Amino acid sequence: MCPNCVTPWKCNGPHVPDWKVTLAAEYLRSVLPDSVTIVGPESVFAERDEARAAIARVEALHVRGHEYIEPNGGAVLHACEGCDDDWPCPTIRAIRGDA
Identify which has the larger pLDDT, 55 or 6.
Answer: 55
Is it the case that residue 79 has pLDDT exceeding 70?
yes
What gap in Å lies between CA 13 and CA 93, rounded to an integer?
58
At 39, is the pLDDT very low, low, confident or very high (cuts 50, 70, 90)? low
Sequence-ordered list of residues with C-beta below 8 angstroms from that of 91, at least 6 positions apart, any chain: 58, 62, 80, 82, 83
pLDDT for residue 23: 76
C-alpha closest to that of 86 among 96, 78, 94: 78
Is it the case that residue 2 has pLDDT exceeding 80?
no
- Pairing between β-strand 64-69 and β-strand 76-80 as defined by DSSP bridges: antiparallel
Q: What is the pLDDT of residues 61-75, one digit of tens each?
A: 999 998 888 888 788
Q: Give the start-to-end residue ranges of the domains of the chain.
A: 41-96
pLDDT for residue 43: 73
Name residue 80's beta-bridge partners: 64
